[in-house]
Structures are given as structure tokens and as C-alpha cells.
Amino acid sequence: MFDSSLIIALQQARRVVVFTGAGASAESGIPTFRDALTGLWENFDPAQLATPEAYFANPDLVWAWYEWRRQLVTDCQPNAGHVAAASLQDHVDQVAVVTQNVDDLHERAGSSDVVHLHGSLHHPYCSSCSQPHNFSGAVADGAPLVAEPKDGLPPPACTYCDGMIRPGVVWFGESLPQAEWQRAHRLVADCDVLFSIGTSSVVYPAADLPRRAHASGAQVVQINPSETGLEDWVHHNLVGPAGRLLPQLLQAAFPDEPSPAA
């Protein structure tokens, strides 16, 4: 099933980076960026909505989209791929998850070192004074969030300056958070194995990380049902869903691992 060189590389690894994109959350029921959006959002292109221009031009629409996504994430569960990535911590000295995702499913699966390159749905802040905003309720500030807010949802006002609250994510055209980006660089330069899981590898500068790992001499493992263009920088290309392949790989490398959920 798996190449013996991959099994040995994993067994001997001391530092592993798990680099993930939207596909890692797909089996939890969260649409990926390049899946066609369904329902109200099917007429929108995520890349168009995930921009400062869209937010300032139509804050109610953009805030509604993010609150719908936050509600979706809150209602979803980590999948077997997230759980396997977390259980790597039982077998490898240092496991760091470097994710493009804005959900908290890696943390909820038990990963203790998660670097969010593109921010988080759970850490909104003021678009004027940058003060963090605390959601008062489980969803949109206590108001019951309809499945897909048809008429938009006005962003809450900042309690410090009355400015508009924005999602705590990195939009297209915005710089990645310096600390996270620097840390990701160091982790990738030092790792023995890098997994690239569930990413189409089209969004930069994050998409550079697997190539940097390859250049630093790490074993690069891709897990994706589709081609991504990263194949030339990958030592082991596992074609299929992460929720099946990552648990199976861990069981092959660490037989004492409890068998993946059937």
C-alpha cells in the first residue's frame, strides 16, 4: 500500500510539518474554496468575497458569508484526517500544523501546535482600531443565524471606537501575519517530513512552502484526490482523500496506532 521508504522516513522523522488547505476539512462537510459554492453563495466567487474591497463595498454580504461559514464550522466535527494529524504527536518529537484554513478543526482534533497563515473565523477584530472583538454568542452575537442570511448581516460595531468589525482572516491582497509566516518558514526549513494535504497549491506565498521543504531536503508527501501541479516537488504522492489515507499511513508506520475508524 505505501512505499517502504515513506514508512521508514516517517518512523525516523523527528520534526514533521503538516501543511493543510481546504481539502483537509472537506470530509467534515466544509466546502473547499474551489468547489462550486452551493445555495445563496453559488452566485459568488469566494476569491471575490475574500477581499477587503468586497467587505468595504458590501459589509453586510461579506459579514453574512463569514458568519454562515463560522456557524458551519461550529456545527461540523473534525474528520479522521484531522484526528490522524493530531495523533502523529504520539509518535514524532515535533509536529506542527501549518494551515491555510480559517476553521479550528485541527485544534478540536487535538493538534497542539497550529500555525494559521490565513487567520481564523474565530478571531474577528475592528477594521478601524484593530481591537479584537469578542463574539457574545455562539453565533452572530447571540442572534440566531439563519442558515444562509439572505439579506446580509450587518457587522457588529467595535465597543472601543464604534468602527466596523471584520473577520479575523487574511484576504487576497493582504499580507500574511508576520510572526506566523516567519515561524512557518523556520518549521519548513528544519523539518524531516512535510505533508501537503488538501491544497490546490495555487495561493501564494503559502503554496511556496512545500517547494521550500523539498529544497531543504525534507521528504515531501502530498495527499490529494486530484493533481495540483506540486507533483514535481513531491517524493510520495498519495492520491485519495486525507480522511482515509492519513490514518492508513499512520497505521502502517506505527502499528500500535488504533486502527482507523472503519
User: Closest approach of Cβ 179 to ligand BV8, in Å?
Assistant: 15
- Contacts to ligand BV8 by CB under 6 A: 21-23, 26-27, 32-34, 47, 50, 100-102, 118, 169-176, 197-200, 202-205, 223-226, 228, 241-243
Q: Which of 153, 158, 238, 253 binds Zn ion (CB under 5 A)?
A: 158
| Choice among 118, 133, 214, 236 that is catalytic | 118
What is the Cα–Cα distance from 90 to 88, expressed in whole angstroms?
A: 5
Q: Which of 198, 215, 30, 178 is nearest to 105 (CA)?
A: 30
236 is known as an active-site residue: no
Residue 143 sits in the site that holds Zn ion (CB under 5 A): no
Residue at shortest CB range from ligand BV8: 23
The mark string for 94-133 relative to Zn ion (x by CB under 5 A, - otherwise) is: --------------------------------x-xx-x--
Q: Which does 63 bind (CB under 5 to 8 A by kind): Zn ion, ligand BV8, none?
A: none
Query: DSSP letter string over the chain?
Result: ---HHHHHHHHH-SEEEEEE-GGGGGGGTPPPSSSPP-GGGGGS-HHHHSSHHHHHH-HHHHHHHHHHHHHHHHH----HHHHHHHHGGGTSSEEEEEE---S-HHHHHT-S-EEETTEEEEEEEETTT--B---SSSSGGGSPPPSS-TT--PPPBPTTT-PBEEEEEPPTTSPPPHHHHHHHHHHHHH-SEEEEES--S-STTGGGHHHHHHHTT-EEEEEESS--S-GGG-SEEEES-HHHHHHHHHHHH-TTSPPPP-
Residue 119 vs 155, nearer CB to Zn ion: 155
Residue 126 vs 220, nearer CB to Zn ion: 126
Residue 160 sits in the site that holds Zn ion (CB under 5 A): yes
User: Closest approach of Cβ 163 to Zn ion, in Å?
Assistant: 4
Residue 112 vs 159, nearer CB to Zn ion: 159
**Span of 107-115, 160-168, 208-216, 233-241 interacting with Zn ion by CB under 5 A:** 160-168
Active site residue ranges: 118
Contact footprint for Zn ion (CB under 5 A): 126, 128-129, 131, 158, 160-161, 163
